[in-house]
Amino acid sequence: MLYREYRLIKKFVNTNSLLTIAQIADFLNVSARTAYLTINGVNDWLAAHDLAEIQNVRDCGYHLAPENYDQVSQLLESEVRQANVDLPRTERVMLIEFAVLCQAEPISLQFLRSLTGVTTRTVQSDLAEVRKKLVSAKLKLLSVKQHFAVQGQEEELRKYTLRLLNEIQDTIVQDKIATLMPFDEKQRAKVERGLLHLEQQTGHYLTDDSLFQVKQFIYFSLVRYRNHCYLTAKADDVNAQRYHVAELLAELGVSQEHLAEESSLLAKVIRSRQASYPLKIQGSNELYLLAGRIIKNFVAISGVKLANSSLQKQLYTHLIAAKHRVKYQIQFQNSETIKVQKKYPELYLMTKQSVKVFEEYLGAKLTTAEIELIALYFGGELEKVNFVEQRAAKHRVLLVCGSGMGTSRFLQIRLEKLFPKQLEIQIVTKQSYEQADQIEAELVITTLPLTEKNLPVINIKADLTESDIQEIQKYLPSLANSEVKHASPYVKATQVLDIVSEYARVENFPGLTAALQSYFLDGPENQAKAERQLGLSDLLPTNRIVFKQGKYSWQEAVQLSGELLEKDQVTEAKYTRLMQKQIENYGPYMAIMPDVMLLHAKPEISPQYKQPGMGLIYFQQPVSFNAQTKARYIFSLYSPTMDLHVNALTQLTEILSNNKLVGQFKDAQTPEELTRLFIQATHRGEEK
C-alpha cells in the first residue's frame, strides 16, 4: 500500500465527511491527477477485502461507507503492524530513531527491517541519517555486529525524543510506535486521569497537540525507566505542579528512589508545552510587560496599530511556555502547521526583529520554529485590521484546533474576515468538545479528527486552502449572494473533471486539465483579476535598476535607493527619510537573505502617491549596515497597501529561494538581463 493511500483512508475514517477532489489533492499535497490515482488505489485495496469502494456524490465529494469504518480501521492497523505500508524516507528515519531510542539493549538490523518493511541496504542508509541527527543532540549511535543502540546522557536522550514526538504527530509513525510502548487501556486511562487532575489543580490546560506530546513522553519515559535507564541529574525545582506530577508517576510504578528526578523532568516538559487558554496574570509580571514591548516593537516596525489588550494576554501565555523551552533546551525545531517564513516572509521578518527584546531577556536565540509560532499571533491581528464586524444574524460555529492559541486565533480571524456576515466563531479544544454532552452550534470546523455529534463537521487544513473555503460555503446557503468568491480556474476545472471521470476514460489527463483551466482562465472576471495582480516585473521596470561602483555608506545607499523612486514620482523625499529612520531605530532587520536588503517603511506621505513601485541598486562593493550585515543588492519598495507589499515581497522571496534563479540573478551584468529574469520568474510563478 502506498503511503498516500494509507493517509487518504485515515482521513476518510477520521473526518467522517465528504471530501472533494480538490480537498484530497490539498491534503495529500499532490496534483488532481494523482488524487484520482490514489482513490483508484484505495478502491483496489477495498475490493481485495470485499468492501465497498469509495463513493462519489456529485457536486459534494467522496466518502467511505460509514458501516465499514470499524472493519477498515482494523484492516489498516493490521497493514501497519505487518509493515505493508510503503513508508517515505522521512517517516522511516523517524521510526528507526524512535525504535533505537526506546530500547535499552541493542536492537537488531533484522528487527528494523521487519519494522520498516524495506531492504537491509535501505535500513543501513536510514541508520546513517539517524546517526547524523543524533550527533546534533550530543548522542551517539553505537553499532556492534549489526545491532544498534543510542549512547548519551539520559536527560538529553529524553529531550531529543520530546522534539521527535512533535514531528511524528499525525504521521504513520504515531501508529507504529504503539507497538514499541506496550501499555494496556487501564494504564493509559491512569495517565489520562492524572493529567486531567494536574490541569484542574494548576489551571494550566494544555492544547490537544501538547497533551498528545506529554502523554507519549510519559509512555516513553516509563519504557526507559522499566528498562533500568535512570535519570542522574539532580532535581532542581520544588513546586505544586511537581508534587502532582510525582503523585501520577508513583501511581504508574516509579519508585521513591527515582521519583524526584523523574517528576522534575516531566514537570519541566509540561511547563514548556502550550496552554489552550490565557493564564492569569499575577502582580507586576515581567513576562507580561515583555509581551507588551514585543507588540510595541511590531507596531513600530509594521506601522500597523493593533488592539493590544487581548493580544498581550495571549502572547504572555505563549512566552511563559517559550521561556521554559529555552531554559530547559527543548525549543521547537520544526513547525509544519503553517510555514510562516516561506508563506508570509514579511510577517516573519517583522516578528523576528520584534522578539529581540525577549531573546535579550532569555540570553539565547529563538529557533525559526519558535519565531514562526509567535508570528501567528501577529498574523491573526493583521488579518483583523480594518475589519468591521457585522451584527446581522450569523451561524454559530465551533472552531476546534489543537495547535495552540496563535493558530486558532489566526484561523478564527481569517474565517470571520472571509465570512463577516455569516459566521460567529467560538474556539474550543478537542478535549472540551469531546467531553460536552450538548454542542450549541450549527457547524463544527476543525483541524483534528472528531467524534460525530449530530452536527456537520468540516475538516480543514491549518493554512485554510481554497478547497476548504469552498467546503464551508456549501453549508452556508446565504453565501449564494455573498461578495466572497473563490472559484478559481483550477477549482472549476476539477469540478468538470469529477463528472467526466465518472462516465468516461480520459486518455490525456494533463492535456484535458490544462485545456479546461485555460478555458476558465479566459473569462472576463479572471482577466480583470489578472490586470489587478501586479507582478515583480511591473513594479520594477528596467529604468529603476542601477549598477554602482565605488564605496558607499549605508546612509548613502538608502538615499540613492529612495531617489530612484522619487525620480519616477513613486514617492517623495519624506519616504526616503522614513526608510533611513527604520534602520536607525531597529537595525538592518530588512535583510531578507545574505547579500540582499529590502528597504521599506510605512507610508506617511501625500495621498497622491497611490501606485506601488520598486527600485534595485547593485553595489560592486558591499554596503555595510553593521558588523554582521552587508549587502550588494539593495531593493527599495513603496506600497500604499499591506496586500501589495506582501505580494511583492513574496514574489521576490520565491525568486531568491530558487538556487537556479539566484545563480542567474547574481550572474546578470545589465539591468536588461535582470528585467528579463524577473519577467520569466513571474510568468513561471503564474503557471504553477
Looking at 112-121, 226-235, 322-331, 656-665, which range is the least confident one? 656-665
Using H for helix, E for strand and C for coil, what is the string for 117-148? CCCHHHHHHHHHHHHHHHHCCCCEEEEECCEE
Looking at 208-217, 337-346, 539-548, 659-668, which range is the least confident one? 337-346
Answer yes or no: are the C-beta atoms of 431 and 211 closer than 8 Å: yes
Higher pLDDT, 300 or 502: 300
Nearest Cα neighbor of 489 from 512, 465, 472, 514 is 514
Phi and psi at residue 305, to the nearest 5°: -80, 130
Answer yes or no: are the C-beta atoms of 270 and 241 closer than 8 Å: yes
Higher pLDDT, 658 or 582: 582
Cβ contacts of 426-434, under 8 Å, gap ≥ 24: 426/396, 426/397, 426/398, 426/399, 427/398, 427/399, 427/401, 428/398, 428/399, 428/400, 429/205, 429/207, 429/208, 429/276, 429/400, 429/402, 430/208, 430/400, 430/402, 431/205, 431/208, 431/211, 433/398, 433/400
Residue 49 has pLDDT above 90, yes or no: yes
Residue 388 has pLDDT above 70, yes or no: no
Nearest Cα neighbor of 582 from 289, 350, 307, 348 is 350
The confidence band for 386, taking pLDDT boundaries of 50, 70 and 90, is very low
Rounded percentage of the chain residues whose pLDDT exceeds 90: 27
Nearest Cα neighbor of 329 from 268, 372, 260 is 268
596-616: burial string, b at 16+ Cβ within 10 Å, e else = bbbbbbbbebeeebeebbbbb
DSSP 504-523: S--S-HHHHHHHHHHHHHTS
- What is the rounded distance in angstroms from the CA atom of residue 380 to the CA atom of residue 256? 47
**Computed from CA positions of residues 253, 257, 261, 264, in that sequence, does the dihedral angle turn out positive or negative?**
positive
Overall average pLDDT of the 104-108 stretch: 90
Looking at the whole model, is its pTM more than 0.85? Answer: no
E-strand stretches of 5-161: 55-57, 61-63, 107-108, 140-144, 147-151
DSSP 226-254: HTT----SPP----HHHHHHHHHHHHTT-
- Sequence-distant (6+) residues with CB within 8 A of 370 are 322, 325, 331, 332
Residue with cell 528515519: 93
Answer yes or no: are the C-beta atoms of 161 and 213 closer than 8 Å: no
- What is the rounded distance in angstroms from the CA atom of residue 233 to the CA atom of residue 268? 13
The confidence band for 566, taking pLDDT boundaries of 50, 70 and 90, is very high
What is the helix (H) or strand (E) element at residue 398, kind and residue range? strand 395-400
Phi and psi at residue 11, to the nearest 5°: -65, -45
Count CB neighbours of 688 within 10 A. 5
Residue 105 has pLDDT above 60, yes or no: yes
Residue 80 has pLDDT above 50, yes or no: yes
At 616 the pLDDT is: 92
Nearest Cα neighbor of 177 from 227, 212, 129 is 212
Q: Which amino acid is at 240?
A: A
The confidence band for 644, taking pLDDT boundaries of 50, 70 and 90, is low
Identify the bridge partners of residue 63 per DSSP, sorted by sequence position: 55
Nearest Cα neighbor of 399 from 485, 472, 320 is 472
Pairing outcome for strands 140-144 and 147-151: antiparallel
At 237 the pLDDT is: 66
Classify residue 19 by its DSSP letter: B
Count CB neighbours of 45 within 10 A. 21
- What is the rounded distance in angstroms from the CA atom of residue 51 to the CA atom of residue 65? 9
The confidence band for 106, taking pLDDT boundaries of 50, 70 and 90, is very high
Count CB neighbours of 440 within 10 A. 8
- What is the rounded distance in angstroms from the CA atom of residue 254 to the CA atom of residue 395? 50
Residue 44 has pLDDT above 90, yes or no: yes
Q: 3-class DSSP state for residue 52? A: coil
At 358 the pLDDT is: 93
Q: Where are the alpha helices (DSSP H) in 475-572?
A: 489-503, 509-521, 524-532, 536-539, 554-567
| Distance separating the N- and C-terminal Cα atoms of the chain | 29
Q: Which amino acid is at 47?
A: A
The confidence band for 684, taking pLDDT boundaries of 50, 70 and 90, is low
- What is the rounded distance in angstroms from the CA atom of residue 603 to the CA atom of residue 582? 12
Q: Where are the alpha helices (DSSP H) in 363-448?
A: 368-384, 405-418, 430-435
- Sequence-distant (6+) residues with CB within 8 A of 632 are 595, 596, 618, 619, 620, 621, 622, 623
**Computed from CA positions of residues 63, 65, 70, 76, in that sequence, does the dihedral angle turn out positive or negative?**
negative
At 522 the pLDDT is: 52
Highest mean pLDDT: which range of 235-239, 471-475, 605-609: 471-475
Higher pLDDT, 18 or 494: 18
Higher pLDDT, 217 or 422: 217
Q: Which amino acid is at 2?
A: L
Q: What is the mean pLDDT of the chain?
A: 81
Using H for helix, E for strand and C for coil, what is the string for 271-330? HCCCECCCCCCCCCCHHHHHHHHHHHHHHHHHCCCCCHHHHHHHHHHHHHHHHHHHHCCC
Residue with cell 479572471: 526
At 51, list the grid cell. 468492501
